[in-house]
Amino acid sequence: MKVTVLQTDIVWEDAVANRKRIEKLVEGQEDTDLFVLPEMFSTGFSMNPVEIAEKEEGETLQWMRRMAEEHRCVLAGSLSVSESGMFYNRFYFVCPDGTIHRYDKRHLFTFGGEDKRYIPGGKRVIVSYGGFRILLQICYDLRFPVWSRCRNDYDVAIYVANWPVGRREVWDTLLRARALENQCYVVGVNRTGHDPQCSYNGGSVIINPYGKLMASCEDDKEETASAVLAREPLDTFRKHFPVLGDGDDFNLSL
């Protein structure tokens, strides 16, 4: 499965402009199976959901459906979504056949006031696609290893983020740690540019189960990077070095 990360410079609270930028980055990459976008890719990490949140069947989700069908690929990334009078930071995984998987961010970023504007999710979501089991995660989730602990139930972890420059070393370190401790591929997609609160310099990567870099985007640049994820080396590694089978048993309390 070929995965392409889209490291974008998000235009603040302008969904139309951001969709157009993404379309240009996708052009000419017809061999990609899965495109991964940053957190809140259509607006930036805005704490103004009353103004920017879209309905469940809003324009950006419909656009994701059209793009997935037209390019015969998956589009994945999060949006600010309004549902039943409440707001969610919702990860959409949109398949070319129109199937949509949803994950609501579990760990809301209290330091930035996200918990005062959005409702946390309570369901861990793993999607089966292209021969892989894929865990969906959003930004701050990266700091909580129990939530993303592999219990022989996934092969790829995707983290979409708006992770600022000041904490960039944490992003780099934890992405690699998640790949190593879970013997999985990790796809981490961050934005570049600025919003009213923070600056971002990217760090979008694809990491293999050995913690080695497979592909990366240049810092401070809007661009793409791709890698092919293969089952055989992952399965062989897990079989011959059975770390996951030696892990501690536990239950999550939600």
Highest CATH level, class, for 2-239: alpha beta
Q: Residue 125, class by beta-carbon neighbours within 10 Å (0-12 exposed, 13-18 middle, 19+ buried)?
A: middle
Question: For residue 31, is pLDDT > 80?
Answer: yes
pLDDT in tens, 128-154: 999 999 999 999 999 999 999 999 999
Share of the chain above pLDDT 70, in %: 100
Average pLDDT score over the chain: 97
Question: For residue 27, is pLDDT > 80?
Answer: yes
Question: For residue 2, is pLDDT > 90?
Answer: yes
**What ranges do the domains of the chain cover?**
2-239
pLDDT in tens, 62-106: 999 999 999 999 999 999 999 999 999 999 999 999 999 999 999
Predicted confidence band at 251 (pLDDT cuts at 50, 70, 90)? confident
Question: For residue 253, is pLDDT > 80?
Answer: no
Q: What is the pLDDT of residue 151?
A: 93
Task: Return d(Cα 32, Cα 217) in angstroms, integer.
Answer: 16
Predicted confidence band at 161 (pLDDT cuts at 50, 70, 90)? very high
Under a CB-based contact definition with an 8 Å cutoff, are residues 208 and 215 in contact? no
Residue 120 is classified by DSSP as: P
Q: Tokens 């979008």 label which residue?
A: 204
Predicted confidence band at 46 (pLDDT cuts at 50, 70, 90)? very high
Task: Write out the catalytic residue numbers.
Answer: 39, 105, 139
pTM equals 0.97
CA distances (Å), origin 129, targets 142, 156, 182, 228:
22, 10, 19, 14
